[in-house]
Chains A and B, each alone.
Chain A
């Protein structure tokens, strides 16, 4: 007899014979009894210890029912231990039924259980790396990891909770091979990490975002509490994403929330208190250095000019004797705290009976920003507060009918200063104003730039966001019709409402003047007010809302015939989104999918799978809206061949699976365009001013011509992989190689003459991009005595190449073309050093027809035509999104202590040191510390170490600041992403107060970063529009289980 027994939805045991099944059931039952007993005792109902000696006998088997010899069985808290015999049996004398036995064996999970009345039973140990038995969430279903043939990686919720980060997107970074990421900002509430699966396969990074589903429904996941997450699956190849068809080409992220398990109520509290510190902040010149270098810049421009600072003035900047007129303000120090607090709390209760299982969770997050409080009547700091809840309920209405009700949501409030304080700091000279003087907001006394504090006084922004997600599902077994047949329906409703309010007011500023007040002939500083303190204006408000309705119905089939296992799935979904951010916001966005899956395996040895999506998108002509997206995949578990087992031996090669997949997936999006086929659209715009009493008259502008033949992008994806496990599953190695050819890429035409169509934003299927790479995952897990440890590394590489993009191809200068290059390739000049003297200039090709000066940047004459001009640009450095991402994690557990760490790095990425930060003393008045490394006449080392060109105040000539390898810098980095040290306390004293176990946690995020940029975080958005920095987090956590 063969059958599949499902226990809950997370554990499936395959058993090969009725006898073994009975054994397993016995073991399971006995364990439950033990657990329940233990629970009863811990509740204090029975804490009477029996003192009599008891002989306990048992038999140890592995997951396949084979006896395990040589296992160590120890009575907990004593030195009393025995070993199992060759048939797996053992016998041990213990103190009594309350004794706890600990069983450990190399390669298997250790097991603790209360003796109770279990003597004489068979006890099975699960292999340590039981990942093969893990259930993996796949599109619209789940599969045993052993039978998966697609490229899917998962992260467990237990790993996600290690990261003390407020945004879940940051917690997956480094843990999933094939996931590339950049986090541009750390601003509370605005800190989402950009994730790309296997890089960028289309022409525009903006159209390369993966599809994200939470509990089977398309929803964002960044704001989900990690304590509510069971697992995150990342679907990478065609086999796993074909079911998402027209939207699957960029890969899919599936988030599954936790569910209750049968058993007594478990109450789980987790609290975290953390301090946040910027990973890195730019250094600015102090008032004295600023003035000295500004003077140098002035005299560079015009050596005969009257110096803007006299020696006496410079001295005042230096000694700080007159901080009103000769200030030196460290804006970051003045405005920012060194640390900011963050708190996270979660309480959840889970449990259930055979009829109803529940998981209920309530969470709270409070993330403070780094700004100091300057304003009396409102908070000028960044702030993010969120209350989230989730209630997942599974009801077994009958033996064959199950219902699921999942409700999740959150309510968040965010504050931020009005304006952009970091940009203001970037624009504030350090010698221009003292900032605050006697509590008064000072305007500039000299120089350009701003008083960066002003933004706090001028207003603030408030946002609120409420999200409610609801899933209701019903599953029904149709065994009475056909054995193994079941069906399900699910409906989902999401509602989101957001409000943003912007408050502003005017605030008095003061200017300092020197006036002889008391007539003693010595001028005294007086502060003269300009402007009045105003009241807060009524806020400008805006609202956003969103509503999604989703329906799904499916028929599933799952059966085995001898060694043949077959599953099938037929599924229909439809979804509508109201109030979205795309064009025609008033017209709901709709999708429809029909999904088919068929899997077959023979003896878990030969695996075949066929997936197909038939999906429709409104973007395409009415008669051609639905596309077929088939994928076929197969696997061969080599180690399940008896001859292989015999030849190599399980102890060396425990497991080897080869798998391959091939299929087509699609993408229907191009920016916010909709109804791409819709012809001849006119939009409001244009127009001009007419009349002697001028009136602005708005026009109607041809919006697009419409492309009646438009269709979806096609991604032809191949994936080849091998999964190895060596040395009794202790070492595992996965290698994936993938290749994607994306054709029919939706993009605008670029070679239509302007005299034909002034309007070119229509989508045409004309792009082709190739994307390929590999992922390697290597892990080791073992035990030394009672200590277990593990290390795991993953490395991903993805590189794309534009094969065709309808580019106005430059045949004379092919290096200027994007075709043949990577998506987002950076073009610029090749930096060749600085002109050191007039002789250098004369010998060098003439640049941009300009007269160069010593200290100017020297560029390579790529074309060799004797002149440096726009044609001498070529691809330089790497695109801003990384091609390589790697993670290296490990940890160990000794007794009650467990420690883990995660290093993560990205490479082949660059950062353009944006415009504003590059121009010291310009309209953006600040100057960063690195400009000390400028080229200047009279440098003691003859400018051998000069890193930036001569200083200037006149930016009419920008040639020194063109995009070049001088300003595009390598932003590769390695971070110590996460460290966690936890200590578990299970003392009886806790039980007295009703606590089952307590876990003390110290953890940190982004603690160290190694890179070559040095002055700004490598993930930061280019310095030109500097944003809130990435954050280091030092966290203290407490976990209590009741």
Chain B
């Protein structure tokens, strides 16, 4: 018995001593299998995944809404281009119409807002980390590394431009920062940000290994040098525009005026913008880009906006697929065969921007009654770009299977039935719905067209606008416009227009050509024409008469809110509250 005590005693001592001994190494060490910055840059295969990541948020900048922006809608719906009906989200364009949006909507409210401020910085940080560390990768050739550095510079420039146009001056960051460093960086003057963007563009352009265009089909969706030329043109056009190019900002901001304007009016900026546009056109065309001309006047525009480079789209400079993109289906009218939400529908205001193919305008100010059984009468002679962008009563909805002639009308009285197949006005909400990017849609429920962010056509429009502002009308201006117009079979521009008339003409042409491509909202603002947003916004009422003729009556749908302080976006209030000197834009 005594020996058993001993055994147990020794057992205790052994276990106790043993466990204290093992103490130190008992707790787990972190797994060495996960990636850290060293292991990521130890192989090109890993580093490459950071490149893919640079584009994580780029989809938001593309020309068509993704599910991650503006609810199911498009930024076009807060301009006179389009209108949003959907009530699916409490926080969409409808609140802009009512004027009841706050800084959260503009810059934080992810899927339903206009922008996510944080994402610009996330992307910039990713680009800097990649740029600073790519030289550490042992298994990649030097030219590949240099190409990546150029791409990073381009991505940073793009993000800065996207902030520049929305917020004015923002903090300038030149490397990836850590919390150990001094990180209190105030907003930089607008002029410094402008110069920073141009410097980044020049850095990318000077990079010998950054390709002129994406060399491999597999890489479609990545930036190239041609894009940087275009970005430079776009940036300089914005800089020359009256929103920024002034000593008196849209709203007095005291000693902070330099954050939201250049503090001087410099006409020379227009000339510089013209040169940038011209350089972009030259560079692009030297490298195989060109205005799409070979598919016939009725189709060229569709190819330029929706098709792939390998299908003949030589215009798209930067665009991508963003996976399964259903959101554009929500743009269809309610009650259509795929059950759209009328989330982005053309307004009558926009329709009136289309000329007839002979250069004349349809007069909508008095009701139009069509001949018997000819519902498309008012639209027949409009610009081919109209027919590729807008669906309307009586048009052939060729993209569905089977094809329909849309019936978007109400009967004149109970004896005449409303439009069939569910396409009646009460359910579609508006007389038009979007066709651009839905050409070829086959009611599959999933529709993935190419989404352009930049097309060569824009460069011609940039050139025309900048030249007209710098020197007034000239052959070069008219020629630039005609390049675009003639591609769709439209007649030459009237050579007698004066500078002001030409300015309006260019603006109209820009609206038509770049419809729904996210330009209009920012174009109107940079031209200080914000009152345009107030409306009134028009629609047409379509009535089928007893004799099967149709009456189109334009009517005012609504007015919208617009406030001067909306010229620039607010910073997220949460970011301002952090108290490091991010000065909120005036009026917010």
**Stretch of A231-239, A682-690, A735-743, A971-979 that contacts chain B:** A682-690
Complex partner residue of B98 from A401, A553, A850, CB under 8 angstroms: A850
Within 8 A of A (CB), among B1-50: 1, 4-5, 8-9, 11-12, 15-16, 19-20, 22-23, 26-31, 34-40, 46, 49-50
Complex partner residue of B30 from A401, A678, A702, CB under 8 angstroms: A678
Supposing A698-B49, A755-B173 touch, asked if A691 and B121 sit within 8 A by C-beta, the answer is no
Within 8 A of B (CB), among A666-688: 674-675, 678-684, 686-688
Majority SS at the chain A contact face: loop
Residues of B within 8 A of A955 (CB): 87, 90
Inter-chain CA distance A700–B130, complex, in Å, is 11
Within 8 A of B (CB), among A173-196: none
**What's the least CB distance linking B77 to chain A, in Å?**
12
Is A117 part of the contact surface with B, judged by Cβ < 8 Å? no
**What's the least CB distance linking B481 to chain A, in Å?**
31
Supposing A592-B23, A699-B53 touch, asked if A694 and B185 sit within 8 A by C-beta, the answer is no
- B578 close to A753 (CB less than 8 A): yes
**Stretch of B218-226, B237-245, B388-396 that contacts chain A:** B218-226
- Provide 20 A-B residue pairs closer than 8 Å at the C-beta atoms, listed in order of the A residue: A474-B8, A674-B30, A683-B35, A686-B56, A687-B52, A687-B53, A688-B53, A690-B221, A690-B222, A692-B310, A694-B323, A696-B323, A697-B52, A699-B52, A753-B184, A754-B118, A755-B177, A756-B183, A850-B98, A957-B100
The residue of chain B having its C-beta at the shortest distance from the C-beta of A591 within the complex is B27
- A592 close to B87 (CB less than 8 A): no
Inter-chain CA distance A584–B33, complex, in Å, is 10
Supposing A696-B323, A957-B98 touch, asked if A752 and B4 sit within 8 A by C-beta, the answer is no
Inter-chain CA distance A896–B129, complex, in Å, is 79
9 extra interchain contacts, Cβ-Cβ under 8 A, other than A487-B12, A584-B31, A807-B577? A476-B9, A487-B16, A688-B58, A688-B320, A690-B320, A692-B220, A692-B308, A809-B579, A954-B87
Q: Number of residues in B with C-beta < 8 Å to the partner? A: 87
Inter-chain CA distance A481–B5, complex, in Å, is 11
Residues of A within 8 A of B184 (CB): 753
Residues of B within 8 A of A959 (CB): 100
- B49 close to A687 (CB less than 8 A): yes
- B95 close to A956 (CB less than 8 A): yes
Within 8 A of B (CB), among A588-619: 588-592, 616-618
**What's the least CB distance linking A560 to chain B, in Å?**
23
Is A923 part of the contact surface with B, judged by Cβ < 8 Å? yes
- B9 close to A808 (CB less than 8 A): no
Is B102 part of the contact surface with A, judged by Cβ < 8 Å? yes
Inter-chain CA distance A181–B185, complex, in Å, is 46
The residue of chain A having its C-beta at the shortest distance from the C-beta of B49 within the complex is A700
Is B309 part of the contact surface with A, judged by Cβ < 8 Å? yes
Complex partner residue of A572 from B16, B95, B217, CB under 8 angstroms: B16
Complex partner residue of A699 from B56, B99, B117, CB under 8 angstroms: B56
Is B561 part of the contact surface with A, judged by Cβ < 8 Å? yes
Is A141 part of the contact surface with B, judged by Cβ < 8 Å? no
Is A937 part of the contact surface with B, judged by Cβ < 8 Å? no
Which 7 A-B pairs have CB atoms at the shortest separation, nearest pair first? A699-B53, A808-B577, A688-B55, A958-B90, A758-B122, A682-B35, A694-B321
Residues of B within 8 A of A851 (CB): 98
Is A437 part of the contact surface with B, judged by Cβ < 8 Å? no
Supposing A699-B49, A752-B183 touch, asked if A618 and B27 sit within 8 A by C-beta, the answer is yes
Supposing A489-B12, A688-B55 touch, asked if A705 and B575 sit within 8 A by C-beta, the answer is no
Is B94 part of the contact surface with A, judged by Cβ < 8 Å? yes
Is B322 part of the contact surface with A, judged by Cβ < 8 Å? yes
Is B179 part of the contact surface with A, judged by Cβ < 8 Å? yes
- A754 close to B9 (CB less than 8 A): no
Inter-chain CA distance A487–B12, complex, in Å, is 7
Is B190 part of the contact surface with A, judged by Cβ < 8 Å? no
Residues of B within 8 A of A353 (CB): none
Residues of B within 8 A of A678 (CB): 30
Is A587 part of the contact surface with B, judged by Cβ < 8 Å? yes
Within 8 A of B (CB), among A632-666: none
Inter-chain CA distance A693–B50, complex, in Å, is 21
**What's the least CB distance linking A803 to chain B, in Å?**
18
- A478 close to B9 (CB less than 8 A): yes
Q: Please indicate which of the listed interface residues A480, A588, A753 has the most CB atoms of chain B within 10 Å of its own CB.
A: A753
- B55 close to A808 (CB less than 8 A): no
In which size bucket is the chain A interface?
A: 35 or more
Write the A464-488 contact mask toward B (1 if CB under 8 angstroms, else 0): 0000000000101010110000010
Is A734 part of the contact surface with B, judged by Cβ < 8 Å? no
**What's the least CB distance linking B570 to chain A, in Å?**
12
Residues of B within 8 A of A757 (CB): 125, 177-179
- B30 close to A689 (CB less than 8 A): no
The residue of chain A having its C-beta at the shortest distance from the C-beta of B573 within the complex is A810
- B26 close to A923 (CB less than 8 A): no
The residue of chain A having its C-beta at the shortest distance from the C-beta of B182 within the complex is A756
Inter-chain CA distance A618–B579, complex, in Å, is 35
Inter-chain CA distance A646–B497, complex, in Å, is 116
Inter-chain CA distance A811–B5, complex, in Å, is 71
- A956 close to B90 (CB less than 8 A): yes
Complex partner residue of B36 from A680, A693, A811, CB under 8 angstroms: A680
Is B171 part of the contact surface with A, judged by Cβ < 8 Å? yes
- A700 close to B578 (CB less than 8 A): no
**What's the least CB distance linking B47 to chain A, in Å?**
9
Is A26 part of the contact surface with B, judged by Cβ < 8 Å? no
The residue of chain A having its C-beta at the shortest distance from the C-beta of B19 within the complex is A572
Residues of B within 8 A of A693 (CB): 217-218
Is B447 part of the contact surface with A, judged by Cβ < 8 Å? no
- B15 close to A754 (CB less than 8 A): no
Is A869 part of the contact surface with B, judged by Cβ < 8 Å? yes
Inter-chain CA distance A678–B39, complex, in Å, is 14
- B448 close to A808 (CB less than 8 A): no
Is A82 part of the contact surface with B, judged by Cβ < 8 Å? no
**What's the least CB distance linking B445 to chain A, in Å?**
16
- B26 close to A702 (CB less than 8 A): no
- A923 close to B88 (CB less than 8 A): yes
**What's the least CB distance linking B58 to chain A, in Å?**
7
- A592 close to B27 (CB less than 8 A): yes
- A849 close to B28 (CB less than 8 A): no
- A849 close to B217 (CB less than 8 A): no
- A691 close to B220 (CB less than 8 A): yes
Q: Please indicate which of the listed interface residues B49, B309, B574 has the most CB atoms of chain A within 10 Å of its own CB.
A: B49
**What's the least CB distance linking A953 to chain B, in Å?**
8
Is A212 part of the contact surface with B, judged by Cβ < 8 Å? no
Is A36 part of the contact surface with B, judged by Cβ < 8 Å? no
**What's the least CB distance linking A918 to chain B, in Å?**
11
Is A899 part of the contact surface with B, judged by Cβ < 8 Å? no
Inter-chain CA distance A642–B183, complex, in Å, is 69
Complex partner residue of B99 from A622, A811, A850, CB under 8 angstroms: A850
Is A870 part of the contact surface with B, judged by Cβ < 8 Å? yes
Residues of A within 8 A of B19 (CB): 551, 553, 572, 574
- B27 close to A849 (CB less than 8 A): no
Is B59 part of the contact surface with A, judged by Cβ < 8 Å? yes
The residue of chain A having its C-beta at the shortest distance from the C-beta of B58 within the complex is A688
Write the B105-134 contact mask toward A (1 if CB under 8 angstroms, else 0): 000000000000110011011100100000
- A553 close to B87 (CB less than 8 A): no
**What's the least CB distance linking A702 to chain B, in Å?**
7
Q: Please indicate which of the listed interface residues B50, B309, B322 has the most CB atoms of chain A within 10 Å of its own CB.
A: B50
Complex partner residue of A680 from B37, B98, B320, CB under 8 angstroms: B37
The residue of chain A having its C-beta at the shortest distance from the C-beta of B581 within the complex is A753
Is B582 part of the contact surface with A, judged by Cβ < 8 Å? yes
The residue of chain B having its C-beta at the shortest distance from the C-beta of A618 within the complex is B27
Is A751 part of the contact surface with B, judged by Cβ < 8 Å? yes
Residues of A within 8 A of B36 (CB): 679-682
Inter-chain CA distance A686–B179, complex, in Å, is 23
- B52 close to A686 (CB less than 8 A): yes
Residues of A within 8 A of B573 (CB): 810
Complex partner residue of B124 from A481, A590, A697, A755, CB under 8 angstroms: A755
- B94 close to A697 (CB less than 8 A): no
Supposing A618-B28, A752-B183, A956-B90 touch, asked if A690 and B56 sit within 8 A by C-beta, the answer is no
Is B92 part of the contact surface with A, judged by Cβ < 8 Å? yes
